[in-house]
Amino acid sequence: MAVTLLADSSVSSYAPIGLLLLLTIVSAVGMVLLSHWVGPRREGPVKDSPYESGMPVIGDARRRFNVKFYIVAMLFLLFDVEIVFLWPWAPLFYKAATNPNDPAVAAMVEQGFGKGFLLAEVGLFLAILLVGYLYAWRKGVFRWS
């Protein structure tokens, strides 16, 4: 079985990428080493203590947190990511509502997806989000007592 080697032209096309990668690694390592060698050295009990936003450290870092904290954090991420789905919809709906002669809008209207469909679609999306929010509220996720 014969092994074919890459032609010089295909290997040389990757040379700029390799050079950029090498330059990036060398500069990053160089900056870290330079700051270590040249930077000021101050040691003491205050510098060696952990910094917690200006507050003194109280207790163990491995203590347990209430599960509701994590649930609220996950719900925030869930609803935040789902709201991001409105970003592509908004310009499309604006274009469909204000400029029906646009070629992209005309193609949508030909397929039966006009501004009424877009409005109903986002209404259904927001209704599903509202049902999820009301379910979480009803389960008492947002009660901190």
Q: How many CB atoms neighbour CB 82 within 10 A?
A: 14
pLDDT tens string 102-136: 887 888 878 878 888 889 999 999 999 999 889 98
C-alpha distances (whole Å) from 136 to each of 71, 73, 118, 130, 142 are: 10, 12, 27, 10, 8
pLDDT at 55 over 80: no
At which residue do the structure tokens 């649930």 appear?
Answer: 71
pLDDT tens string 63-89: 777 777 788 888 888 888 888 888 888
Whole-model pTM above 0.95? no
**Structural domain boundaries of the chain?**
67-138
Cα angle 24, 25, 30 (rounded to 5 degrees) comes to 100
